[in-house]
Amino acid sequence: MQYFQKELETMSADQKKVLQSERLVKMVKYVYENQKPYRAKMDAIKLKPDDIKSIDDIYKLPYTVKQDLRDAYPFGMMARSKKDLVRLHASSATTGKLTVAGYTMNDIDVWGECAARSLVMAGADEDSIIHVAYGYGLFTGGLGMHYGGEKLGACVVPASAGNTQKQIQLITDFGADIICCTPSYIIYLAEEFEKMGLKPGVDLKLKGGVFGAEAWSENMRADIEKRLGIRACDIYGLSEIAGPGVACDCEYKTGMHFQDDHFYPEIVDVDTLEQLPIGESGELVITTLTKEGMPLLRYRTRDIASLNADPCPCGRTTIKLNKITGRSDDMLIIRGVNVFPSQIESVLLKNHNIEPHYHINVDRVNNLDTMEIVVELSPHISIDQVEDVEAIRKKLTSEMASALSVSAKITLVSPGTVERSEGKAKRITDRRKL
């Protein structure tokens, strides 16, 4: 199977532009009429829906930022009533509040189609057994790939995350040929396969996988492909726009094919917010062209990347997204979970045994992300036994895990020993080599 939706994936540049223009004009009218916060933004600069006549006018539109979503928590950005919404996803945001995304049935269908296109790029077809080891839940990974697999007509194994021994049993016994999970987890699985003496091509039928939700390098790709003998595709998505499937690598890996009939990407300069020409690196901005539940116009993703329009031997004509190289904010992605330093701060401020001074060390050990939070003990507490310190650490560890949805190692140090800096504090050391 070469394509999931050949006509849409291989349309000519002219056809694409007409389609994008038609959809954008309609989308701007729809948002203006149904999404109050954005209407206010347009009114503030006296921009009327009629001023947007084609995709070339997109630069005139104001940006939507994550703060807009937070201010409108939970449903202020929805353009449809609860009657039409069929699903809510959410991801963590800086203030402890969640960023919510609402989907209509049509949105779920479109997302599923994009995920199905991605699975085909990884080598899947109707006969595939697709093992989904992304977490199922508010996080979009699991359900996104699940619906994609079903759209494709393949057979989906909703394994979800965790319990590696069970995962391995399912993968081998069911003969999964396609797997979906984070890149660090597939490497972990590869190591486990090796330990158990399971050989690719003999005991394992895997031939491809889509791996996303965290940044990974070409070196990691080479490692995964060599160890497992599979096609390893990077997949991009974010819950505000749609989960995984917004863009994905094909077999030629010339950049992730961006499903630009539904999602229009731009790269903008982080400082001036001017649109940058194709090829230059900047912040990825996405406009949804067909979304109904929570359409977003020029949404600033905070992901730093570049686009390329080079023709791809696979025949798909979409624009392509090169690997994400960083973030324009202080968000960390730890084992696929978004972590904001401000979430850590709010936990520390509530605990009186410690000071709100901290440093975060992020590393990747055996291909799994680790996070250590170094925290100062308060000078006002009394400690004369090891158990006193262990009790404080245990309490803080569990408070942190429940606030961040990902575990962190807590290291307690003497008051005054965490480095203070003038101006913007350097609170994060990220030693992950990507």
Partner 1 sequence: MIKQIAVFLENREGRVSECCKALKDAGVNLCSMSIADSKEFGILRIHTDNNELAHVTLKKAGFLSTMVDLVAIEVPDTPGALADILIQLCDGGVNIDYMYSFANASGHAQIGFKTETPEKAIVILEKLGVKMI
Binding footprint of partner 1 on the chain (CB under 8 A)? 377, 379, 381-386, 389-390, 411-417
Tokens of 192: 């486990």
Tokens of 403: 């606030």
Q: Would you say 413 or 428 has its CB closer to partner 1?
A: 413
Min separation Cβ 388 and partner 1, Å: 8
Written as one letter, the residue type at 284 is L
Q: Would you say 165 or 385 has its CB closer to partner 1?
A: 385
Contact indicator for 62, 285 with CB cutoff of 8 Å: no
Q: Would you say 34 or 361 has its CB closer to partner 1?
A: 361
The angle formed by the CA atoms of residues 26, 30 and 34, to the nearest 5 degrees, is 175
Min separation Cβ 344 and partner 1, Å: 19
Q: Would you say 169 or 411 has its CB closer to partner 1?
A: 411
Q: Would you say 228 or 392 has its CB closer to partner 1?
A: 392
Q: Would you say 45 or 386 has its CB closer to partner 1?
A: 386
Contact indicator for 317, 9 with CB cutoff of 8 Å: yes
Min separation Cβ 385 and partner 1, Å: 6
Min separation Cβ 360 and partner 1, Å: 17
Q: Which helix (H) or strand (E) holds 42?
A: helix 36-44
Tokens of 7: 């006509």
Min separation Cβ 417 and partner 1, Å: 7
Q: Would you say 291 or 393 has its CB closer to partner 1?
A: 393
Tokens 């996070």 -> residue = 371
Contact indicator for 104, 79 with CB cutoff of 8 Å: no
Written as one letter, the residue type at 190 is A
173-188: burial string, b at 16+ Cβ within 10 Å, e else: eeebbbbbbbbbbbbb
Q: Would you say 117 or 393 has its CB closer to partner 1?
A: 393
- Distance from chain centroid for Cα 255: 16
Q: Would you say 274 or 384 has its CB closer to partner 1?
A: 384
CA distance 89 to 106: 15
Concatenate the DSSP letters of all residues of 347-398 into one string: HHHH-TTEEEEEEEEEEEETTEEEEEEEEEEPTTS---SHHHHHHHHHHHHH
Q: Would you say 329 or 372 has its CB closer to partner 1?
A: 372
Under DSSP, is residue 354 helix (H, G, I), strand (E, B) or coil?
strand
Nearest Cα to Cα of residue 1 among 250, 317, 259, 261: 250
Q: Would you say 87 or 395 has its CB closer to partner 1?
A: 395
CA distance 208 to 307: 24
CA distance 13 to 20: 10
Min separation Cβ 355 and partner 1, Å: 10
Contact indicator for 333, 93 with CB cutoff of 8 Å: no
Min separation Cβ 392 and partner 1, Å: 10
CA distance 82 to 96: 24
Min separation Cβ 359 and partner 1, Å: 13
Q: Would you say 300 or 357 has its CB closer to partner 1?
A: 357
Under DSSP, is residue 53 helix (H, G, I), strand (E, B) or coil?
coil
Min separation Cβ 414 and partner 1, Å: 5
Q: Which helix (H) or strand (E) holds 119?
A: helix 105-121
Min separation Cβ 411 and partner 1, Å: 6
Min separation Cβ 136 and partner 1, Å: 36
Min separation Cβ 386 and partner 1, Å: 5
Concatenate the DSSP letters of all residues of 184-232 into one string: HHHHHHHHHHHHTTPPBTTTB---EEEEESS---HHHHHHHHHHH-SEE
Q: Quick one: DSSP state of residue 64?
A: B
Written as one letter, the residue type at 370 is T
CA distance 350 to 343: 11
